[in-house]
Amino acid sequence: MEKDMEEKEGHGKKGVTRRGFLQLMGAGAAVSVTGSTLAAEPAAEIITPGEMSKVTLKINGRRHRLLVEPRWSLLYVIRERLGLTGTKVGCERGECGACTVLINGQPRYACLILAEEAEGMEITTLEGLMNGEDLGPVQQAFVENDAFQCGYCTPGQIMAAEGLLRANPNPSDEEIRRGMSGNLCRCGTYPNIFKAVRRAAELKKAKGGV
């Protein structure tokens, strides 16, 4: 019985069977691939924290004195060091607009700016558009027009709209589409977003352009 089993597994008197040959080749290929992969891959690079630098960031009218690493983005500092989580983490490579903030009144992607670069600039986040517990005009317009579904992109959309209306208080439909083009909504709520921007222009005008 044992002899029969050996023959079935590829080690009988008639030599290596087809099954045994495939098993041997598979094992050899695995060793070959593993060996070449290990030889080709460089050793993992160990990244150590850099020297901390002192920066002062003016965000929403308040000055924050911080120690930051040179590699830290403004997005990271806003969220993780200051706890202003209205600014969202999206693609982190300047494609989606979820992290949009205003820098000197202009919409910018916080993920593409180092915290050190932002020193001395006026930074406004979503939280800075509120008046105490009251929503700002753009925020209110987004609520009125149901300009969101999942809501994840909404803070960046609001900041882009705020920047657009500060530069152009009465934009045309085409100017709105162009001004909001850097912010992606994966839910596809663009018609309501454009309505919200038009409504925000009206609310701002009613409040004297605030």
* Selection from 173, 153, 171 nearest residue 163 by Cα: 171
The structural domain count of the chain equals 2
Residue 165: which domain range? 130-210
pLDDT given at position 208: 78
Give the HSE-up count for residue 114: Cα atoms under 13 Å, Cβ half-sphere. Answer: 9
CB 104 within 8 A of CB 159: no
Q: Which of 75, 107, 126 is the last residue of a domain?
A: 126
pLDDT given at position 6: 47
CB 162 within 8 A of CB 128: no
pLDDT along the chain (210 residues), means of 10: 48 54 49 42 51 95 96 98 97 97 98 97 98 95 97 98 98 97 96 98 87
137 lies in some domain: yes
Print the SS3 string covering 112-136: HCEHHHHCCCEEECHHHHCECCECC
pLDDT given at position 16: 56
Q: CATH no. for residue 138?
A: 1.10.150.120
Both 66 and 97 in a single domain? yes
Both 148 and 100 in a single domain? no
pLDDT given at position 33: 39
Both 139 and 78 in a single domain? no
For residues 175 and 181, give the distance between their C-alpha atoms in angstroms, rounded to a whole number. Answer: 10
Both 168 and 199 in a single domain? yes
For residues 18 and 24, give the distance between their C-alpha atoms in angstroms, rounded to a whole number. Answer: 10
The residue behind tokens 């939280």 is: 127
pLDDT given at position 209: 65
2 lies in some domain: no
**Joined tokens for residue 49:** 């924290």
Task: Please tell me the pTM assigned to this model.
Answer: 0.75
* Selection from 76, 96, 106 nearest residue 153 by Cα: 96
Tens of pLDDT, residue by residue over 85-132, are 999 999 999 999 999 999 999 999 999 999 999 999 999 999 999 999
Both 142 and 193 in a single domain? yes
- Residues counted in the chain: 210
For residues 49 and 3, give the distance between their C-alpha atoms in angstroms, rounded to a whole number. Answer: 64
Q: CATH no. for residue 65?
A: 3.10.20.30
pLDDT given at position 7: 47
pLDDT given at position 17: 61
CB 177 within 8 A of CB 194: yes
- State phi, psi for 145 to the nearest 5 degrees: -100, 10
